[in-house]
Amino acid sequence: MLHRTIHLFRKGLRLHDNPALLAALESSEAIYPVYILDRKFMTSVMHIGALRWHFLLQSLEDLQKNLSQLGSCLLVIQGEYESVLRDHVQKWNITQVTLDAEMEPFYKEMEANIRRLGEELGFEVLSLVGHSLYDTKRILDLNGGTPPLTYKRFLHILSLLGDPEVPVRNITAEDFQRCRAPELCLAECYRVPLPVDLKIPPESLSPWKGGESKGLQRLEQHLTDQGWVASFTKPRTIPNSLLPSTTGLSPYFSMGCLSVRTFFYRLSNIYAQAKHHSLPPVSLQGQLLWREFFYTVASATPNFTKMAGNPICLQISWDEDAERLHKWKTAQTGFPWIDAIMTQLHQEGWIHHLARHAVACFLTRGDLWISWEEGMKVFEELLLDADYSINAGNWMWLSASAFFHQYTRIFCPVHFGRRTDPEGQYVRKYLPVLKNFPSKYIYEPWMASEEEQKQAGCIIGRDYPFPMVNHKEASDHNLQLMKQVREEQYGTAQLTRDDTDDPMEMKPGCKAAPGLSDGCERLAAGSWRC
């Protein structure tokens, strides 16, 4: 019996490599491609800023366009998902609902509710994995039922697992001919809303435009561009990498506009042919593996996006300081490197991963000693590629709450920027008030004399804030706190830690020359300051 199917897009906003959609087409005589815009649900589970709404709407527009080219259309229905489904299952005589299997707890709950509804109203539910390289369960099984908690161990498990799932075949117009598309009037009724309909600003100023088509374009550019190897692996030496990337792909992966499996296999083909290449993890394939790592750990760790009740996360009494958090969030720390990054984040919705490290370290273990959960919420709101598990995982990493243990390496908000971009082009672009400072002072303008500040047309304390902390004092202090925490919670810290190869990380009780192990801590005072 052929089904009458609603295919529910949640992420997976694409037609290529979409296992659930393909399964729907192959098993149905009529198909309704639906996106339920349940604003209440969406804003209750994640913060969404204006830029990401724009990206989403653009992605939906693109999906709609691509579907109509194949003789179908996208139906965007606004409302609470359960009542929307109730209405339309009856209206359209639906016998099957297909959707991507997603691992976030709120999506799992949604799927469970839909299944319950299916039992009640008499429709089947089919969900297939399409958002990750591997079926997470296989990874867990190979690791004895629990997730590998260090990246190195994860890579080891993957090496046993072999290659990821292969992308499924492309969908064609024939598929939609066999399978009747929704009536035309519906397309009119359920068109993609405009920004004004959602009460967000009409224009997005971000250079990133959503959608599968744009994603695929970038993918092609990425793969055909000869320079990508060098530029990706040495971001530190090329300041251009801080600027909005024309070949970056992370927001497209996070919304599912691009299939990670497709990308993985395209890259593999290139590696097989090319002589000069760099392989994981600094490379592009590495980006996918990091993503996979955090998904895997998140899928099997309770309270992954919180500190409380999270078994792998150090329990730290972070400061609660709304004013300092606000300064960080609104790019008023007085440290140009930090403020420029936060400005780019607000304006464009994307910052380079080294920039993320810098601001995350500053907020948490480096300078302000504010909880990583606060930073995570801000990123969630502002980043186009905000992803439930990856965002949380990275924040835990960067705050040294889990996964990362060289807490003595604190990024200096002055020196890190200076080394990455000695002339300060990036700062000048995003903080034009500082653009006339000479490179000598661009990262620490408070060091310039009053005369020099006048010449630069910017008086520190008036036109641009004083630095909100004394970095050396704050970081020294925080280093001691972190040291205490780690001594007290040694067990938790060990969970996400490899056997260390780092001579600076001496395990307690290990044989060391007298005085050497405390020397390693002493090294922190003034050292490893990036």
Partner 1 sequence: MMKRARQKVVIENESPQTLQKSKNQKTCLHGSAFGESDLHASMDWGSLPHHVILRIFQFLPLVDRARASSVCRRWNDVFHIPDLWRRFEFELSQPATSYLKSTHPDLIQQIIKRHADHLQYVSFKVDSSTESAEAACDILSQLVNCSIKTLGLISTAKPSFMNVSKAHFASALTVVFVNSKSLSSVKIDDTPLDDPSLKVLVANNSDTLKLLKMSSCPHVSPAGILCVADQCHGLKELALNYYILSDELLLALSSEKHVDLEHLRIDVVSENPGQVEFHTIKKQSWDAFVKHSPKVNIVMYFFLYEEEFDAFFREETPVTHLYFGRAVSKAMLGRIGMNCPRLIELVVCANGLQPLDDELIRIAERCKNLTAMGLGECEVTCRGFIEFVKMCGGRLTQLSIMEEVLIPDNDYSLDRLHLEVSKHLGRMWFPDMMPTW
Report if residue 208 touches partner 1, rule: CB under 8 A: no
Q: Is 100 annotated as a binding residue?
A: no
Site string for partner 1, 314-343 (x = CB under 8 A): ---x--------------------------
For 108, what's the count of Cα atoms within 13 Å in the CB-facing half-sphere? 7
Report if residue 502 touches partner 1, rule: CB under 8 A: yes
Report if residue 283 touches partner 1, rule: CB under 8 A: yes
Q: Is 491 annotated as a binding residue?
A: no
Q: For residues 517 and 519, give the distance between their C-alpha atoms in angstroms, rounded to a whole number.
A: 5
Stretch of residues binding partner 1 (CB under 8 A), selected from 16-24, 94-102, 141-149, 471-479: 471-479
Report if residue 280 touches partner 1, rule: CB under 8 A: yes
Q: Is 301 annotated as a binding residue?
A: no
Which of 105, 110, 61 lies closest to 84 in space, CA to CA? 110
Q: For residues 276 and 16, give the distance between their C-alpha atoms in angstroms, rounded to a whole number.
A: 29
Q: For residues 444 and 455, give the distance between their C-alpha atoms in angstroms, rounded to a whole number.
A: 16
Parallel/antiparallel/unpaired status of strands 124-129 and 96-101: parallel
The two tokens of residue 261 are 């499996």
The residue among 450 and 501 lying less far from partner 1, judged by its C-beta, is 501
Report if residue 276 touches partner 1, rule: CB under 8 A: yes
Report if residue 513 touches partner 1, rule: CB under 8 A: yes
Q: Across the beta sheet with 96-101, what order do the strands follow?
A: 75-78, 28-37, 3-9, 96-101, 124-129
Stretch of residues binding partner 1 (CB under 8 A), selected from 47-55, 130-138, 271-279, 339-347: 271-279
The residue among 300 and 481 lying less far from partner 1, judged by its C-beta, is 481
**DSSP element (H, E) containing 34:** strand 28-37
Helical residues (DSSP H) of 70-163, grouped into ranges:
81-91, 105-121, 136-142, 151-161
The residue among 70 and 506 lying less far from partner 1, judged by its C-beta, is 506
Report if residue 390 touches partner 1, rule: CB under 8 A: yes
Q: Is 333 annotated as a binding residue?
A: no
Spatial CB neighbours of 339, under 8 Å, sequence gap ≥ 6: 331, 332, 333, 430, 431
Spatial CB neighbours of 239, under 8 Å, sequence gap ≥ 6: 420, 421, 423, 425, 426
Report if residue 523 touches partner 1, rule: CB under 8 A: yes
Report if residue 372 touches partner 1, rule: CB under 8 A: no
Amino acid occupying residue 359: V
Q: Is 481 annotated as a binding residue?
A: no
Least distance to partner 1 from the beta carbon of 515, Å?
5
Give the binding site for partner 1 (CB under 8 A).
151-152, 155-156, 229, 233-237, 250, 276-283, 286-287, 290-291, 293-294, 317, 353, 356-357, 385, 390, 393-394, 397, 404, 406, 409, 419, 473, 476-477, 480-481, 484, 498, 500-504, 513-516, 519, 522-523, 526-530
